Amino acid sequence: MKKSRAKRDCQVTQFFMALLDGDHSLDLLAGAAAKKSVTNDLKQAKATPVLLHALAKADSRDRRTIESALGTSRMTVSMAARVMAIYRKHDAIACAQRLSREHVARSRNGLAKLPAGEARERFGAILDVLDHWSPSREELSRAAVQRS
């Protein structure tokens, strides 16, 4: 009994991790189009996968730039642009998208084991949306080529 509950709890955790990672990517990729603030997570000093990856890869100068923006309620456009440039430089958004895809895949595996029904369908639909906001590296490359 305890083993199946622990397994279910792990599957639920994977689902919510996918949801959070997808939300962080949406903040950065969709911004105003999704009525989300690109700087919201920085203003709130949230330890997102994007932020943690960038801090881990950044040199001391870039790290200071990021740290100076954390928790800043008066975020300027230039400050946000500098942090976004650091995120792009270290491929931090793609890292968060990879994490989201991994969590989505694990969630789908767990979801497939549940009996068919409305709840399973709804969770599956949410995972479909998360997949949309977590394109693979190949999809991102194709989109960049099409834009140029």
Task: Return the CATH number at 139.
Answer: 1.10.600.10
Task: Return the axis-axis angle of helices 77-89 and 92-112, rounded to nearest 10°.
Answer: 70
Q: What is the tens place of the pLDDT at every residue in 123-133?
A: 888 888 777 76
The 3-state DSSP class for residue 89 equals helix
Alpha-carbon gap, residue 83 to 90, rounded angstroms: 11
pLDDT in the model for residue 54:
92
Count Cβ atoms below 10 Å from residue 5 Cβ, excluding itself.
9
Between residues 33 and 132, which one has the greater pLDDT? 132
The total number of structural domains that make up the chain: 1
Highest average pLDDT, of 4-18, 56-70, 109-123, comes from 56-70
The 3-state DSSP class for residue 137 equals helix
Domain carrying residue 89? 2-147
pLDDT in the model for residue 93:
81
Alpha-carbon gap, residue 130 to 103, rounded angstroms: 10
Q: Is the pLDDT of residue 146 over 90?
A: no
